A and B are shown apart, each in its own frame.
Chain A
Amino acid sequence: EVVLTQSPDFQSVTPKEKVTITCRASQSIGAGLHWYQQKPHQSPKLLIKYASQSFSGVPSRFSGSGSGTDFTLTINGLEAEDGATYFCYQSSTLPWTFGQGTKLEIK
């Protein structure tokens, strides 16, 4: 099973800041890595597919990069509405797995 490890687990940030969340896979998964945003009491929403492609309707301040085992989600110009938990997810190898999540708190 591919284990996805995110860092940090928690980050307190101020609006307009640039935020970087990393996801490391226990084995190479090519570009089969995707990012989600989940707000309290809501279902996850897809932000980035295939490591770097923006999903339809997602604000341009969200971007992704990486391949193989190391991936990054970047939020440029954080907004108050971005306070949420972010998960990475791999679709490269069964069983499909998720990272443990990174909670962003807006100061």
Chain B
Amino acid sequence: QITLKESGPTMVKPTQTLTLTCTFSGFSLSTHGVGVGWIRQSPGKALEWLALIYWDDDKRYSPSLKTRLTITQDTSEKKVVLTMTNMDPVDTATYYCAHRRIGESDAFDFWGPGTVVIVSS
């Protein structure tokens, strides 16, 4: 059974760096084709894909946020970490991590419950 859960600060100040952790179980990030991604959703708005890391440590980023994002994995700890620099109030959103497997669905098929991040001074 695949599960994921996001954790991190609920509130950050403008210009600060946000660090979010995705802790997962039920799969291995060492398995060929597997990836873990981050998606966010601003209040009342659509979903926005941010970043993804693959089993082979290959990484993909949204071009609009690439300069601010870093995604890393700790395979032994079954965690994926996303950092986002220079936070702004427009980054206020619910942040989700999700599982993806190339060739099986190519969609994010299992999601965490999400963590709310508010950017405010």
| A95 / chain B contacts, CB cutoff of 8 Å | 49, 62-64
| B109 / chain A contacts, CB cutoff of 8 Å | 46, 49, 55
Shortest C-beta distance, B105 to chain A (Å), equals 4
Pair A43/B106 contact, Cβ less than 8 Å: no
- How many A-B pairs have beta carbons closer than 8 Å: the answer is 50
B90 adjacent to chain A (CB < 8 Å)? no
Pair B46/A89 contact, Cβ less than 8 Å: no
Q: Smallest CB-CB separation from A95: which chain B residue?
A: B62
| B47 / chain A contacts, CB cutoff of 8 Å | 44, 87, 89, 98
| B110 / chain A contacts, CB cutoff of 8 Å | 46
Whole-angstrom CA separation of A91 from B113 in the bound complex: 22
Residues of chain B at interface, number, CB under 8 A: 19
Assuming the A-B contacts A98-B46, A99-B46, are A49 and B106 also in contact, with contact meaning beta carbons closer than 8 angstroms in the complex?
yes
Q: Smallest CB-CB separation from A98: which chain B residue?
A: B47
- Select which of B46, B48, B63, B105 is within 8 A of A46 by beta carbon: B105
Pair A55/B62 contact, Cβ less than 8 Å: no
Pair B49/A34 contact, Cβ less than 8 Å: no
Chain B residues numbered 64-120 whose CB sits less than 8 Å from any CB in chain A: 64, 96, 105-114
Shortest C-beta distance, A95 to chain B (Å), equals 5
- Select which of A34, A94, A97 is within 8 A of B107 by beta carbon: A34
Q: List 5 A-B contacts (CB under 8 A).
A: A43-B111, A44-B47, A44-B108, A44-B111, A46-B109
